[in-house]
Amino acid sequence: MTNEEFLQDKLNWLNYFKLRASWGQVGNQNAGAFQYLTRIRTANTNYIFGTEEGTLTPGAYPYNLSNPNLQWETAEEIDLGFDARFFNSKLNVNFDWYRKEQKDWLVQAPILDTAGAEAPWINGGSVINTGVELALSYNNRVNDDFSYNVSFNGAYNKNEVGSIPTGDGIIHGPINQLWDNSLEFFRAEEGHPLGYFWGYETAGVFQTQEQVNNYVSDSGTMIMPTAVPGDLIFVDRNGDGIITEADKTEIGDPNPDFTYGFSLGANYKAWDFSLQANGVAGNQIVQSYRNQSGAYQNWTTQILDRWHGPGSSNTLPRVTLDNRNYNKFSDIYVKDGDFLRLSTVTLGFDIAKASKRKNFFADQLRLYFSVLNLYTFTNYDGMDPEVGFGISEGSYNFSSGVDLGYYPRPRTYMMGLNVKF
């Protein structure tokens, strides 16, 4: 717009302004060939007749359910934004508003085992992301000796699942993920964020038997009659007086509301300095480091602060051989995942520049020291809040924010020398 007559050279603080608007569609057919047919499988299908061990007769069976209506998945995006430069182009601003909709999402959603065959690929509904992105940068050259730049970018995103065309409007996450025999703990459901965590809401830990006895439904029956002091208090959300699957609810959202980053850079004479940082806010992480199917697996030291008598803990329940408080997926596994990480810091010194000798043997002789992953500001008590991990089974790529205790990223110190002739 700064090239238009009505703006050209009119405002001395505005050097450049451009409005952008775009719309696009991209297709994806990443579902394998011939998924619309029922395929016959012969591999690994044998029976033994007679008495000669190891002598197999080959067989065949229908492997998958077909979906004759299978079609492309479409990603549609609308983007409105502007780019601008102010104050002699020292300040750069980019702003975008977007709405991305993934339609006819290709997914192999789990089906009932009674179907007796592999689930068909379906066009599983839609996922909508809306948000704004803002990038600011400021470059200033104070004099020949000193210059600096500051930049910031941030994005606010809202993630929501649209209609899901399965029987119950849900794409269920897989089982046996957090520990042996663990149940589904994330899912995609209309009106909820993608891959939200689904489990029991808790209201602390029973401190006394009296408290167990007083935890009653509207009709006066005990809601958790087999509980003893030290057990978790599960919330009876539907008020039917018992704790069942129907009381499970959304207890966390793995998708950050806000992701941001900033960088600082400065040059002073022969010295140079740079810093980069990034962070997220508003997401939750599922932290599960222990196989809760047996009695003898290791705990983290956190368990030392568990409930072990009235008043000792209202967050970590007692420990039992059968793990009864820990093998039901509840909000005690869900933690806030906000963090700010200083990802790179570099300090350099150029000997060539410092020497000021015209006939120095090199154009640049820069000695630098840098640290990767210097420090992370977070309240997350796990090893690394930047898990970037989900349960992925090929057809299940909608999970994120699951911390299974994989090795955290290391802090790296580097020293180096750049020489240019």
Cα angle value 252/255/258 (rounded, 5°):
115
Contacts 24+ apart (CB under 8 A), 180-185: 180/291, 180/293, 180/294, 181/293, 181/327, 182/292, 182/327, 182/329, 183/329, 185/286, 185/329
Letters for 17-36 (x = contact with another protein by CB under 8 A, - = none) are ----------------xx--
- Which residue stretch of 130-138, 308-316, 317-325, 334-342 sits at the interface with another protein (rule: CB under 8 A)? 317-325
Which of 5, 9, 12, 47 binds another protein (CB under 8 A)? It is: 47
Count of residues that bind another protein according to CB under 8 A: 65
Q: Which is nearer to another protein, 173 or 348 (CB)?
A: 173
139 binds another protein (CB under 8 A): no
Give min distance, CB of 23 to another protein, in A.
28
CA of 181: how far to CAs of 118, 145, 175, 177, in Å?
A: 20, 65, 7, 8
The DSSP code for 6 is T
- Which residue stretch of 40-48, 310-318, 345-353, 382-390 sits at the interface with another protein (rule: CB under 8 A)? 40-48
327 binds another protein (CB under 8 A): yes
111 binds another protein (CB under 8 A): yes
Other CB atoms closer than 10 Å to residue 290's CB: what's the count?
16
Give min distance, CB of 395 to another protein, in A.
16
6: left (phi over 0), alpha (psi -120 to 50) or beta: alpha
Neighbouring-strand partners of residue 130: 99, 158
213 binds another protein (CB under 8 A): no
Q: Which is nearer to another protein, 84 or 188 (CB)?
A: 188
Letters for 364-393 (x = contact with another protein by CB under 8 A, - = none) are ------------------------------
Q: How far apart are CA 403 and CA 77, in angstroms?
A: 31
Neighbouring-strand partners of residue 226: none
* Closest to 321 in 3D by CA, of 297, 295, 300, 292: 295
Which of 48, 142, 228, 417 binds another protein (CB under 8 A)? It is: 48
394 binds another protein (CB under 8 A): no
Q: Which residues contact 308 (CB under 8 A, 6 or more apart)?
A: 230, 318
Burial class (CB in 10 A: 0-12, 13-18, 19+), 415: exposed
Letters for 221-250 (x = contact with another protein by CB under 8 A, - = none) are -----x---------------x-xxx----
292 binds another protein (CB under 8 A): yes
Cα angle value 200/203/209 (rounded, 5°):
115
- Which residue stretch of 54-62, 78-86, 233-241, 282-290 sits at the interface with another protein (rule: CB under 8 A)? 54-62
- Which residue stretch of 20-28, 114-122, 202-210, 305-313 sits at the interface with another protein (rule: CB under 8 A)? 114-122
Q: How far apart are CA 340 and CA 277, in angstroms?
A: 7
Q: Which is nearer to another protein, 321 or 415 (CB)?
A: 321
* Closest to 232 in 3D by CA, of 240, 219, 223, 241: 223
Cα angle value 390/112/71 (rounded, 5°):
70
Letters for 57-96 (x = contact with another protein by CB under 8 A, - = none) are xxxxxx--xx------------------------------
Give min distance, CB of 312 to another protein, in A.
23
Cα angle value 203/206/208 (rounded, 5°):
150
Other CB atoms closer than 10 Å to residue 180's CB: what's the count?
10
- Specify whether the CB–CB gap between 353 and 342 falls below 8 A: no
Which of 2, 14, 16, 38 binds another protein (CB under 8 A)? It is: 38
Give min distance, CB of 123 to another protein, in A.
15
Letters for 147-186 (x = contact with another protein by CB under 8 A, - = none) are --------------------xx-x-x--x---xxxxxx--
Q: Which residues contact 312 (CB under 8 A, 6 or more apart)?
A: 305, 306
Q: Which is nearer to another protein, 322 or 363 (CB)?
A: 322
115 binds another protein (CB under 8 A): yes
Give min distance, CB of 75 to another protein, in A.
24
Pairing of strands 146-161, 258-268: antiparallel
Pairing of strands 202-205, 232-234: antiparallel
144 binds another protein (CB under 8 A): no
Give min distance, CB of 121 to another protein, in A.
13
Using CB under 8 A, list all residues that contact another protein: 33-34, 37-51, 53-62, 65-66, 110-117, 120, 167-168, 170, 172, 175, 179-184, 226, 242, 244-246, 292-296, 321-324, 327-328
